[in-house]
Structure formats: structure tokens, C-alpha cells
């Protein structure tokens, strides 16, 4: 499929046909990664950021923190 590059301010823009955008899983205002790989322009969705425990724990608040959950007596050699 051929497409035309157009000037947009001081940059260049490429219109992505609707069918290709849908197949690639991108829509209006999607963030994409643009890079040059072996002389080819590659546009892809960025990888999901790796979750870190410290980032997740920052989201814990008094309003979303639950009480302890009783799971029954210990089995085996647990020491509490």
C-alpha cells in the first residue's frame, strides 16, 4: 500500500490507513515508538513498562488497604 508523506509544520506526517491502524492496535492519540532499523522506518506500539514493587506500593492508600484475611491453621512447618 502506498502512502504520501506531507509537511506538518517543521516536521513530516504520514497518514495511516484505518485498516492498518486497526490491525496494529493503534488509534487517535496512541503513543508509538518510531525508529530507524537497517535503513527502514519502523513504527510500533511501545512495550508495556515493567512493573516494579516500589511503584505498586506507592498506590496503596488507607482507602484501598484491606484487613488481614484468615486462611485457616498452618500446614507443615510454618512458623508465625
Yes or no: is domain 5-57 CATH 2.10.260.10? yes
pLDDT (tens digit, 9 = 90+) per residue, 12-40? 999 999 999 999 989 999 999 999 999 99
- Place 58 in a pLDDT band, splitting at 50, 70 and 90: very high
Q: Say if pTM beats, i.e. exceeds, 0.75.
A: no
Task: Give dist(CA 11, CA 34) in Å, integer.
Answer: 14
- CB contact at 8 A, 34 and 46: no
Q: Mean pLDDT for the chain?
A: 89
Query: For residue 7, what is its C-alpha cell?
Result: 509537511
pLDDT of residue 46: 85
Domain ranges of the chain: 5-57
Amino acid at each position: 500500500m502506498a502512502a504520501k508523506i506531507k509537511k506538518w509544520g517543521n516536521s513530516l506526517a504520514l497518514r495511516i490507513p484505518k485498516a492498518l491502524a486497526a490491525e496494529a492496535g493503534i488509534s487517535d492519540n496512541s503513543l508509538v515508538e518510531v525508529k530507524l532499523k537497517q535503513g527502514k522506518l519502523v513504527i510500533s506500539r511501545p512495550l508495556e513498562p515493567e512493573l516494579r514493587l516500589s511503584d505498586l506500593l506507592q498506590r496503596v492508600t488507607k482507602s484501598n488497604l484491606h484487613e488481614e484475611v484468615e486462611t485457616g491453621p498452618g500446614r507443615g512447618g510454618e512458623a508465625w
